Amino acid sequence: MRYVAWIVLACLSFGLGSCGGDDENAPLLKVVLHHGNNSRPYMPIPEEVAKQIKGALAPIGVEVEIKKVEWAAYLDLVKTGQHQMALLGWSADIPDPDNFLYVLLHKNNARPGSANNISFYTSDEVSERLSEARRITDPAQRNKLYREAQEIIFDDVPMVPLVYTERILAHRSDFGPLRIEPVTHPVLRRITQPKDGAIVYLRGHDSKKLDPGDVTDGESSKVVEQIFDQLLRFKPGSVEVEPSLATRWTSSDDRKTWVFTIREGVKFHDGTKLDGAAVANAFERQRDPEHPHHFPDGVWSYYQDLFGFIDKVEVGANPMEVVFRCNEPTPPFFLKMLAAFNTSIPSPAALTKFGKDFRRNPVGTGAFTFVNWKSGEEIKLERNDGYWDGPAGLKTVYFRVSENPTIRSTRLMADEQADLIDNIDPQTIKDLAAHGEVTLLREPGLNFGYLAFNTQKPPFDDPRVRRAIALAISKPRIVKFAYQGLALPATTPVPPTITGHHEGIKSRERNADKARALLKEALGK
Amino acid sequence: MEELKVVDTRGVKIWRSLRRDKGAMLGASFILLVVLMAACANLAPFGPAEMDWDVSLDADAPTVLPPSAKHWLGTDRTTYDVFSRLLHGARLSLLTGLAAVGLALLVGVPLGALSGYAGGRVDGLIMRCVDVMLAFPSIVLAIAIATLLDQRTVTTVIVAVGVVNVPTIARQVRASVLQVKTQEFVLAAQAMGLGPVRILARHVLPNCLAPIIVLSTLGVGYAILSAAGLNFLGLGPEPTVAEWGVMLTDGYSYVLQDQQWVVIPPGAAIAITVLGFNLVGDGLRKALDPRAR
Amino acid sequence: MLVFTLRRIVLAVPLLLFTSFLVFAIVTAFPGDPCGEKMGPRPNPEALQTCRSNLNLDGSFGERYGNFMSGLARGDLGRDIHTEESISDEIWLRFPATLELSFVALFLAFVIGSWIGTRSALRPGSWIDACGQLVSLGGVSIPVFWLGMLLIALFGVKLGWLPFSGWSAEEVGPGVDYATGFYLTESLARLEFGAFFNALKHLLLPAVALATIPLATITRMTRSAVLEEVGKDYVTTARAKGLSERQILRKHVRRNALIPVITITGLQLGTLLSGAVLTETVFSWPGMGTYMMAGVRSRSYPAIMGCMLLFVVIFVLVNLLVDLLYHWIDPRMRDEA
């Protein structure tokens, strides 16, 4: 009978214990924090960042409910403004402050449904400066405008920049030379050792599709960049561009018309000759919904977001010339945009031949030719011996998939079917660096992760509440625990790798008492 | 008064039989331990999702702290205290197990009783439904139901596990009702003109209690195990909730880093709880049904 | 006998029909708009329409069910929302991994369970009996995914004896050009013993973890079957004839007792296949369980539907087969029919 008594007693205390409320620690505010379910370069483990934020806000009286949402649904949710707080990040398409500030915080990008400005931040002071910096070309003046914008943004806190991440690659040391490029993925064409070798690029996920105009994810663009060329390309290790498929270019004085001369003697992998028509086709098919190569089930948002200022692209006076006609002066970084992977030039003949299946049968002018694709397992590329810039050193490239990052590192170190890996497990960095046959490459990245507030909805329509949250968050803790130390605390939305980053801005130091006081004041409690 | 006495002596008999059963007593002490853990959760040194703010942020300092005087079972990579979460987790696990079985009983007993007592078409219809549900491997059905509910909460898990257990209970109740319903006292009650609901509630079901009790006890353990599985798969509540299955979600990465202190306690706690209910359930079966011995 | 067999088969058909209807009904009721989510905020109406008709999202419930059933009859389970791969192709690609894992686990459970069961039946009440009961009860009480992690920690990480991931042609037998996904069976059939043992090594840890699910049932079943058999007259007669205990056990008792045990073991296959969902997740095993969970995460509803259907069909068929087998082996069952 003693047991029964014990059990009854225990059950009672169990019941009482769970009922006991503590009024002093009752939250001042309850909010929901949304995050996506997949790993991005700027935020490998969003869940851990969310947990750190929740833990940091609890002491100041903010109770956070974390909601993890499937990636596509998540983007829909934040772009339509259904969130209160959300975790996201940005990787530069173009190495210019505009690509961060205009895209993420200009009021033009705050239209619910298509917003990249998921803070729905509509400050006129900031928007005017950003628009002005788009119009002018003088670097010093642009820089000044961007610095002013960053100061206002810091004070207004539409978002809390959390971290700048590093880009990390590791490869077997017998392959080389290899470097981390600031904007693009590693350029495998430049590997010369071993001569005629085969390389296995082991990564976390398979590509989705290889039609350059229709690609939005890194795993796809990584492969696309090896198969295709663009009009211009980035110089090795630089954010500056040099001629590629275009050899010369001129612009009108109002920067509304550009003429590019196309390189002679370049052939696509299927033997088709490269000319102005092929180049115009690459742009027109993205712009024009009626174009026969504008496959209706494609995702063309990338072009729409970036190249909206282009009216038409057409063949010029001679067939090896192409003309860009724009409805406003092109932005100062227009040439850099023409080195982005989505401006790759595909073979028009192959587009016609394969139709929408081009996405699984890509044909370009690049240093490597597509051979075959086993879904979820392997993409095989062979060297293009007729490459216009001289054939590559490697003979074969395999892109293979191993989802677990720890296993990717293990396989690289054991030389088991892995010569090059990315998205590296932070816990294995030390081992990789110490390994005699592995080279570890680390460079500051062109991206940052942030916490966005929906500034159109209470409670975050009040800048004091946003400031209180920013005061409570400990970025060094986030770096340590959610990024395993492989990141830097962020201060502004423009990473230090970009000219225009405001180095005078320093993050707020965590101060829970001040944050709580500020919050109480804002809420009138 | 007469009736009460009969029940009493029967209860005492069962109790004595259980007391002699070493396995059942071991199981009972396991359950007691978990109940005590749940009861003491408020006394835990840390909250269920409370970070340790005193940890070093130096580059070389570990992010996952091994057991120490401050953190008896170490911390996980968010610096949550594993020991405190273990205690808080006991509450949720017990709650989930009991609520899921409660739900299954709430639906399963009336269904089974109706099926067994009414017979005919009603019986056929209900039993076909039961067959269809039993044709699903239980975890697959539970995953589907959790996806259907689309809310990552404790309630989702309770409902998913509860629904999956309904057919087993309904089938058992039906079998017992079929046995009891032909007995004389039921026939007598029918002859007296009592309504079917009254007969079922007063005369039939009380005599079917034994197998239901056994099945429910075993069911609690099973429900805790299934719930932990669903939570482990990420269909349960958010990762800050202190629940044993949730604590194991990232177990793989801790294991690869040789941080066993994060992984061993919650799993062992699940195992002990489930084993406890299984042992007691077995003991009850033996005590209630002499033939099973 | 024939009548019985036919009756069982005929009874299984409506069951399969009902279950497939339930699968369809559940998956159709899943929340969200997979096409809208895939297309993003500014969908092309034509593409949205293609996606919706690909996913069988248009029309009344009845029409959609009709489409679903006619697709099913052709073995067409639709296409994945994101990759646009055929679901049935994807499933068949992963099915061998799950099947081989389940069979090896079942074999392990049978060997261990029948041994423990026999020993405890021969000495009921002894320490080995008590241990056997505890082991089998412990087996069902331990979460498989946790056991899997412990196995990885000990044999994979600490001791480094066994691999704990990487079930792929390239890992298991480099150089062997597999025609099927049955790496274990095929390497044996091709007499590639190196690859065979390598495959076995890869299978061992997940199989041991998975084997704990049916272990308890098999142990108990063996124990009671052997107990019953030992009490029979012919055993006493054999003893009187001076046969040794070992001979009696080997020649008579085990042979007779194991028949029901084998059928019970078979019955566990369906449970095992789905128990693989948890085990596969821990060991990142490229089987149907991980495929189904990937479908849940990425909201690829046709993939979830395909996996559920296959699990159910196997479950029902195995039960039917075992039922028939049992009936065929044990004539006493025939009277009931």
Q: What is the CATH number of the domain that holds B152?
A: 1.10.3720.10
Return contacts of A323-329, CB within 8 angstroms, 24+ apart.
A323/A257, A323/A258, A323/A259, A323/A260, A324/A257, A324/A258, A324/A259, A324/A260, A324/A283, A325/A256, A325/A257, A326/A255, A326/A256, A326/A257, A326/A258, A327/A256, A328/A256, A329/A135, A329/A254, A329/A255, A329/A256
pLDDT per residue as tens digits for the range A459-516: 999 999 999 999 999 999 999 999 888 899 999 999 998 889 999 999 999 999 999 9
In tens, the pLDDT along A126-177 reads: 999 999 998 888 999 999 999 999 999 999 999 999 999 988 999 999 998 9
pLDDT attached to residue A172: 95
pLDDT tens-digit series, residues B269-290? 999 999 999 999 988 888 887 5
Q: Which residues of A touch B77 (CB under 8 A)?
A: 48, 481
Quote the CA–CA distance of B90 and B67 in Å, as a whole number: 20
For residue B255, the SS3 value is helix
Looking at residue A130, its pLDDT comes to 95
Q: Residue A8: which pLDDT band, with cuts at 50, 70 and 90?
A: low
What CATH number corresponds to the domain at position C215? 1.10.3720.10
A294's enclosing H/E stretch is none
Same structural domain, C168 and C243? yes
Q: Is B65 inside a domain boundary? A: no
pLDDT of residue C334: 46
Nearest-CA distance from B59 to chain A in Å? Answer: 7
Same domain, C215 and C165: yes
Region A343-367 average pLDDT: 95
Q: Do B78 and A55 touch (CB under 8 A)?
A: yes
Contact A55 B39 (CB under 8 A): no
Identify the pLDDT of residue A88: 94
pLDDT digits (tens, 9 = 90+) for A398-438: 999 887 788 888 889 988 789 999 988 887 888 899 999 99
- Structural domains of chain A sorted by starting position, each given as residue range(s) with its CATH number in brackets: 2-165+446-523 (3.40.190.10), 174-436 (3.40.190.10)
Query: At residue A5, does pLDDT exceed 60?
Result: no
Residues C184, C192: Cα–Cα separation, whole Å: 10
| Chain A, nearest residue to C294 by Cα | A70
- Is residue B143 within 8 angstroms of chain C, CB to CB? yes
Mean pLDDT, residues B239-267 = 88
Say whether residue B150 is in contact with chain A using an 8 A CB cutoff.
no
On whether residue B202 sits in a domain, the answer given is: yes
Instruction: With beta carbons under 8 A apart, name residues in chain B contacting C275.
Output: 137, 139
Q: Is C70 on the interface with A (CB under 8 A)?
A: no
Q: Tell me the shortest Cα–Cα distance from A519 to chain B, in angstroms.
A: 21
Do B148 and C30 make contact, defined as CB atoms within 8 angstroms?
A: yes
CB contact under 8 Å between C36 and A114, yes or no, is no
In a domain, B16, yes or no: yes
**Bridging pattern class, strands A232-234 and A378-383:** unpaired
| B240 at A interface, C-beta within 8 A | yes
Q: Looking at residues C149-162, what average pLDDT do you find?
A: 86
CB contact under 8 Å between A76 and C166, yes or no, is no
Tell me which residue in C38, C46, C165 faces A404 most closely, judged by beta carbons.
C165
A336: its two tokens: 């850099």
Asked if A301 lies within 8 A of C32 by C-beta distance, the reply is no
Q: Is residue C76 classed as helix, strand or coil in its secondary structure?
A: coil
Higher-confidence position of C262 and A62? A62
Q: What is the pLDDT of residues B192-243, one digit of tens each?
A: 888 888 888 888 888 888 889 999 999 999 999 999 999 999 898 988 999 9
Best-predicted range by mean pLDDT (B88-92, C31-35, C209-213, C294-298) = B88-92
**To the nearest whole angstrom, how far is the Cα of A73 from the nearest Cα of chain C?**
5
The DSSP call for residue A328 is S
Q: Report the alpha-carbon distance of residue C88 to residue C67 in Å, rounded.
A: 16
For residues C169 and C297, state if they share a domain: yes
3-state secondary structure of A253: coil
B134 located within any domain: yes
Q: Would an 8 Å CB–CB cutoff place C297 in contact with chain B?
A: yes
Residues C53 and C9 in one domain: yes
Domain count, chain B: 1
Q: Do B238 and A66 touch (CB under 8 A)?
A: yes
Identify the pLDDT of residue B4: 46
Question: Strand A321-326's sheet: what is its strand order?
Answer: A246-251, A257-262, A321-326, A310-315
The reply to whether C190 falls in a domain is yes
Specify whether C325 is located in the same domain as C205: yes
**Chain C closest-CA separation from residue A196 CA (Å):** 21
**% of chain A with per-residue pLDDT over 90:** 66
Say if C86 falls within a structural domain. no
B94 interaction partners in chain A (CB closer than 8 Å): 14
CA A175 to chain centre: 27
- Mutation target to probe the C interface, by most C beta carbons within 10 A, among A68, A118, A297 is A297
Neighbours of A265 (CB within 10 A): 8
Domain region containing B212: 2-48+73-288
**What is the model's pLDDT at position B244?**
94
pLDDT digits (tens, 9 = 90+) for C25-66: 888 888 777 776 666 555 667 777 777 777 777 778 888 888
**A71 CB near a chain B CB, below 8 Å?**
no
**Cβ–Cβ contact A55 with B under 8 A:** yes
pLDDT at site A158: 96
Token pair recorded at residue A465: 């509440």
Domain count, chain C: 2
Q: Are C337 and C4 in contact (CB under 8 A)?
A: yes
Q: Does position A294 have pLDDT exceeding 50, yes or no?
A: yes
Contact A477 B63 (CB under 8 A): no
Shared domain check, C262 and C197: yes
Does C57 share its domain with C105?
no
**Percent of chain A whose predicted confidence (pLDDT) is above 70:** 95
Q: A28-37, C82-91, C328-337: which has the minimum mean pLDDT?
A: C328-337
Chain A partners within 8 Å of C32 (Cβ): 73
For residue A303, the one-letter residue type is Y
Q: State whether residue B8 sits within 8 Å of chain A by CB.
A: no
C324: containing domain: 93-336
Q: Sort out which chain A residues have CB atoms less than 8 A from C170's CB and list them.
A: 417
- Pick among B77, B95, B147 to test the A interface (most A CBs inside 10 A): B77
Which residue, among C138, C137, C116, has the nearest Cα to C127 in the 3D structure?
C116
* B39/A484 CB distance under 8 A: no
Nearest 5 degrees, angle CA C245-CA C250-CA C253?
85
Nearest by CB to residue C15, choosing from B135, B267, B274, is: B135
Residue C78 lies in a domain: no
**Res C273: pLDDT:** 75
The residues, ordered by sequence, that sit 6+ positions from B220 with a Cβ below 8 Å of its Cβ are B97, B98, B100, B101, B277
pTM as predicted: 0.83
Distance from CA of B249 to the nearest CA of C (A): 9
Nearest to A256 by CA among A209, A322, A323, A160: A323
Based on the fold, state whether residues C107 and C60 are members of the same structural domain.
Answer: no
Q: Looking at the complex, does the CB of residue A63 fall below 8 Å from at least one CB of chain B?
A: no
Has residue C10 been placed in a domain?
A: yes
Backbone φ and ψ for B135, nearest 5 degrees, come out as: -75, -10
Q: What pLDDT was estimated at residue A16?
A: 46
Contacts of A404 in chain C (CB under 8 A): 165, 284
Q: Is the ipTM of this complex over 0.95?
A: no
- Residue B62 located in a structural domain: no
Nearest CB to C26 within list B23, B148, B282: B148
Would you say residue C82 lies in a domain? Answer: no
Q: Does the beta-carbon distance from C29 to B140 stay under 8 Å?
A: no
Q: How much of chain B exceeds pLDDT 90, in percent? A: 43
Q: Do B233 and C26 touch (CB under 8 A)?
A: no
B196 touches chain C (CB under 8 A): no
Higher pLDDT, A455 or C129: A455
How far apart are the CA of B140 and the nearest CA of chain C, in angstroms?
A: 7
Whether residue C310 sits in one domain with residue C172: yes
Q: Is the dihedral of CA A498, A502, A507, A508 positive or negative?
A: negative
